[in-house]
Amino acid sequence: DAGITQSPRHKVTETGTPVTLRCHQTENHRYMYWYRQDPGHGLRLIHYSYGVKDTDKGEVSDGYSVSRSKTEDFLLTLESATSSQTSVYFCAINPSGRTGELFFGEGSRLTVL
Amino acid sequence: QQPVQSPQAVILREGEDAVINCSSSKALYSVHWYRQKHGEAPVFLMILLKGGEQKGHDKISASFNEKKQQSSLYLTASQLSYSGTYFCGASESAGNMLTFGGGTRLMVKP
């Protein structure tokens, strides 16, 4: 058990509303990641963080922002949700360094109507 | 650029073998393999680093040919529990993030 919890696990929202997904870890690991998963695309990196207030963009960061004010929490925000952001979002941690194995949370399924 | 996995899907009978390939257009530093069951999170299987190594545990093993920029995952004498979607993740250097392939759906039937 890597000690990762995501919330909410399921959310349905309307286009144009803001949405925040939370990833919480209990192990104080530096590296945390947000991925989205869509059929045929595998897992695509949205944003990642290597410490408190240290974040960077991934390959599909447009329309998303993140914050990490505490080691244990990594928040993903959709300022104004669009239907193209309907997806399953996974948070991951990397206990052993930047290219070590990833441990994923259980996922948050977001539907934007 | 996303690595390309092949095949996209494969159906096996219990006890049969399978090979899943992961190819990149760029030189690679490391390749990860993960398995995801339906409705669950991906789970780490193994990492292979630059150097052409081969790894394995139980009846699942993998190879990494850096010259060909390709990794292969070998599933031997498949079991029902092997069913799921397999993803490779590739990084170009020690500091790079992983880029995942589109996945290979594996179904093992009794």
- Per-domain boundaries in chain A: 4-112
Q: Which residue of B has its CA nearest to A58?
A: B97
Query: What does the DSSP 8-state code read for residue A16?
Result: T
Distance CA A73, CA A76 (A): 10
Let me know: does A75 contact A8? Beta carbons within 8 Å. Answer: no
**Regarding the domain with residue range A4-112, which homologous superfamily does it belong to in the CATH classification?**
Immunoglobulins (2.60.40.10)
Using pLDDT thresholds of 50, 70 and 90, give the confidence band for residue A2: low
For A35-53, what is the mean pLDDT?
Answer: 92
| Cβ-defined contact of B41 to A99 (cutoff 8 Å) | no
The residues of A whose Cβ lies within 8 A of any Cβ of B are 33, 35, 40-45, 48, 58-59, 90, 98-107
C-alpha count within 13 angstroms, C-beta hemisphere, residue B73: 30
Tokens of B1: 């650029």
pLDDT digits (tens, 9 = 90+) for A48-79: 999 999 999 999 999 999 999 999 999 999 99
Q: What is the pLDDT of residues B34-78, one digit of tens each?
A: 999 999 999 999 989 877 666 667 789 999 988 889 999 999 999
Question: Which fold would CATH assign to domain B4-109?
Answer: Immunoglobulin-like (2.60.40)
Q: Flag if B98 and A58 touch (Cβ within 8 Å).
A: no
